[in-house]
Amino acid sequence: MEELPSKWSRLSTCRQLVSFCLVGGSGMVVDMTVLHFLASPAWCGWNVSLSKVCSAAAAMLNNFFWNEVWTFRPAGGRCGLQGGKGQRFLRFHAICGVGIGLAVCFLHVFYVWLGINLYVANFVAIVLVTLWNFWLNARFNWRVLKA
């Protein structure tokens, strides 16, 4: 029979979710900034979908760094995280890569089909994939292994 999570485990998960969202907020700033420069006709004038892929990739690099050193760092710097840093980097990009695909689809639907403002549509797309990214990364990427 599986044990229910302890109060401290739930508090830790809530702290991680808040940290993950704060890191995601910094990634959103990176994403929006890069999207603006790439998609805006005043700057590069690229296709919106291509601009979104590039802006999301820049945000992913930002987010991996901060999640690695802050959000999911084990208390007291203990070892035992799932795999090495390189493996976590690849898994993070695989998980978030699917999230980017979802975000691009959502952005296309909201912006192109529904005519919502580009930046509002992008914000909503980011919010929709945040829980996906957190759940999978917490479960498969930065899970602390039991001794």
Give backbone dihedrals phi and psi of 81, rounded to 5 degrees, phi first: -70, 160
* Structural domain boundaries in the chain: 7-140
Instruction: Kindly report, residue by residue over 33-68, the tens digit of the pLDDT.
Output: 999 999 999 999 999 999 988 998 898 899 999 998
With a CB cutoff of 8 Å and minimum separation 6, the contacts of 45 are 39
Q: How many residues are recorded in the chain? A: 147
Alpha-helical (H) ranges within 2-145 are: 7-39, 48-66, 85-107, 118-140
Rounded Cα–Cα distance for residues 24 and 79 (Å): 25
Most confident of 42-46, 78-82, 93-97: 42-46
% the chain with pLDDT above 70: 84
Residue 144, beta-bridge partner list: 81
| Amino acid (1-letter code) at residue 125 | A
